[in-house]
Structure 1
């Protein structure tokens, strides 16, 4: 009996030794998955490759078109305010985004005579017991021609849209904050 237990124990130790010998440590795998940053030459090569692709060609044509130039000019008008995260006075021009938009919840506004998409991102459902969204509740109460004060950290563009896209980070109406983007938790 002792001999059988000894043989089984020895076989188990041998098998586990083989398993652990072929197993890579977890920290080595994580090191392999982290790639080193691209050099400037590699970045330029990747950019040239993308510009030669059908999407890159289409984007370059859009940039050179009157529509693309109009979007860039409108972005330039608010670039200083975006960089300083300072107040911009806006007038609500539409309570919905252009047809086919995939930006989530947003409204159209006019700032300094130019039209912009003010995007807040996707609406989350089920935030409370009644399954209603309270995050954008006060924004849903806005009306066309309402004057609001907005602040944003970023403005972007896409060939699909004829207007610059301003990220809605802060909205104030009649000296009352009606929306303030929550800071990300647990991130960098």
Structure 2
């Protein structure tokens, strides 16, 4: 019997992910450590290391089980809504732990099919929500899109990710404003 088909293996793995997710939601990314997870799950630290030798991979796994709150419930005025959403994302990406997990997810996805599936899932959810919101803003006459909504979505979030991961600097209000403007021409109703 392979270790992955062993019920004890599956139970301990599930307990680790559940503990990591709970710690992430309760205390943020910094709380997701091997020691804290072992204590929270009531299992040995060596068991946590056996499943996930690196904390960043464990954090990425835990994040994959947490619903994405971004770009939900788009509302008029859409420009203000988009500014708030991008500011929230920028604030998250300004945290070292979140930046590390995001980078790990993207990098590991190049070689790991399971991680690439998670990356694609995150990207699809964010892109679909943002694309739908920008399309809604256009239908309500608040936005004249530059190109299609999918390209506009990439133009709004891409620079924030670049600033956080490549430059390792916070996205300030000026950059966020430019990202919002990249979607198209906004009209005040």
Report TM bin, short chain. Answer: under 0.3
Structure with the higher fraction of residues in strand conformation: 1
Provide TM-score, normalisation by structure 1. 0.26
Structure ranking higher in helix proportion = 2
TM-score by length of structure 2 reads 0.26
